[in-house]
Structure 1
Amino acid sequence: MHSFITGIDHVQLAAPPHSEDKARHFYGELLGMEEIPKPDNLKGRGGCWFRCGSQEVHIGIQADFMPAQKAHPGFTVHALDQLRTRLQVAGCRITEEPPIDGRSRFFTQDPFGNRIEFLEFD
């Protein structure tokens, strides 16, 4: 069967209303993702978008927000140990996990309780 899928354009994570500043701090300042403008026709919905390599991370506002505690994005990084320390200094709880398939990794949560994984190829 022919696959129609060619890649991932973006990942969307939900956040509670009026949380854009917290998203900008976590995804922009702590993780170093570049904020990118939302299209004009979507600005009224709130939220904010970030560049993540050649993909995007969209933080969408959800009125009845509940954090994703199992589903999660897995971000590949370089300098995993430095990122771990940076997040710990910022007060983020780190959950260590054993490496898988040659990738060191750990989990944390964004300011809204969404589960986030970071992986580095060994």
Structure 2
Amino acid sequence: MIAALDHVQLAAPPGSEPALRAYYGEVLGMTELPKPPALAAGGGLWFGCGPVQLHLGIEPDFRPSRKAHPGLRVVGIGAFAARLAGQGAEVVWDERLPGHRRFYSADPVGNRLEFLEPIGHHPIG
């Protein structure tokens, strides 16, 4: 029985770690997670935010994922979109998912990312 989604892995080209670290860590506000030494030798990075983990693995013949993508739920999607746009990231709104506000963007190596928030979501606090 499947209990939960542990992580999503995206591919990245060799040498892209500095750009990925800046984007996922600084722009998205995720925390870089340590990789086990045996896996760290192959390059790439792991990031987390709460229960969400994204792993970025180095792929020598890299091609960005333009259709397949992780869907990342956010709180305060308007402010989040403005933050990304202010950092130079493209924000493409898509109103086709009933009950949600969402937009697409791409990481520095061209991987597609979806950010969404249910309409009427009110954070606790």
> When the two structures are superposed, what TM-score results if normalisation uses the length of structure 2?
0.91
Question: Which runs of 5 or more residues in structure 2 are unaligned?
Answer: 120-125
1:68 equivalent to 2:74? Answer: no
Match of 2:104 among 86, 102, 107: 107
Q: Output the CA distance in 2 between the equivalents of 1:52 and 1:89.
A: 21
- Give the secondary structure class of the aligned counterpart of 1:46: coil
Q: Output the CA distance in 2 between the equivalents of 1:51 and 1:92.
A: 20
Aligned length: 119
Q: Which amino acid aligns with 2:32?
A: E
The runs of 4+ residues in structure 1 deviating greater than 6 Å are none
Q: CA deviation at 1:93?
A: 1.2
Q: Output the CA distance in 2 between the equivalents of 1:52 and 1:60.
A: 18
Once the two structures are aligned, what percentage of the paired residues are identical? 48
Which residue of the partner structure matches residue 34 of structure 1? Answer: 31
Question: Which runs of 5 or more residues in structure 1 are unaligned?
Answer: none
Which residue of the partner structure matches residue 85 of structure 1? Answer: 82
**Structure with greater strand percent:** 1
The C-alpha deviation readout for 1:65-103, integer Å capped at 9, x for no partner, is 000010000000011111111111111111110052321
Which residue of the partner structure matches residue 44 of structure 1? Answer: 41
Q: Output the CA distance in 2 between the equivalents of 1:36 and 1:10.
A: 12
Deviates more, 1:87-96 or 1:57-66: 87-96
> When the two structures are superposed, what TM-score results if normalisation uses the length of structure 1?
0.93
The C-alpha deviation readout for 1:2-47, integer Å capped at 9, x for no partner, is xx21110000011110111111111110111011100111011000
Q: Output the CA distance in 2 between the equivalents of 1:115 and 1:32.
A: 17
Q: Output the CA distance in 1 between the equivalents of 2:53 and 2:82.
A: 24
Which residue of the partner structure matches residue 15 of structure 1? Answer: 12
